[in-house]
Homo-oligomer: A and B are copies of this chain.
């Protein structure tokens, strides 16, 4: 893409996201703006019990003002290794741990306007760690769900699971088990 970056301005510096507005000029001379949401990225866990049942979480999501069913996930701390984040979030959100980790992929959630990258891992043979959950106050309503893989696939078809990262993680993990 050929353009000239005329100006960059940080319009908002927030708790989770920053908002940047770039002013660009195309070779034709046309000027335009591009809004970029900056996000630290995160890690997502396809957490599987010994029989390959999935561990899902149902939690309130403020942008939709309703509960959404998702894989356990959370934001990267500054400089944090994605696998460490995945292990930490699984423990904190669910109280489960695993010793069998494998990376499935890393996705761009919405590359048109946001630089968020989510690293998706598969954790097998999860066990309760004994340390329990460590929920932030905003997560207090999290409910854990144990769901057989075939039921999860049906929930995707019925649009009961609609979270993008969750569908990617479940379908990629299911595809590898065939």
A100-134 contact mask (Cβ, 8 Å, vs B): 1 or 0: 00000111111111111010000000000000000
Interface residue stretch chosen among A14-22, A79-87, A88-96: A14-22
Which of B17, B28, B164 is A113 in contact with, Cβ under 8 Å? Answer: B17
Report if A36-B63 is in contact (Cβ < 8 Å); known contacts: A163-B111, A164-B164: yes
Q: Is the CB of B106 within 8 A of A110?
A: no
Is A168 located at the chain interface by the 8 A CB criterion?
yes
A50 within 8 A of B: no
Interface size class of A (residues with CB under 8 A): 35 or more
Chain B residues, Cβ within 8 Å of A171: 167-168, 171-172, 175
Other than the given A24-B62, A168-B168, 9 more pairs (CB < 8 A) read A2-B141, A17-B113, A36-B62, A36-B63, A63-B111, A105-B167, A167-B168, A171-B171, A171-B172
Task: Please give the residue numbers on chain A whose beta carbons come within 8 Å of chain B beta carbons, in ascending order.
Answer: 1-2, 11-12, 14-17, 19, 21-22, 24, 26, 28, 30, 32-37, 39, 60-64, 67-68, 70, 105-116, 118, 137-138, 140-141, 153, 156-157, 159, 162-165, 167-168, 171-172, 175
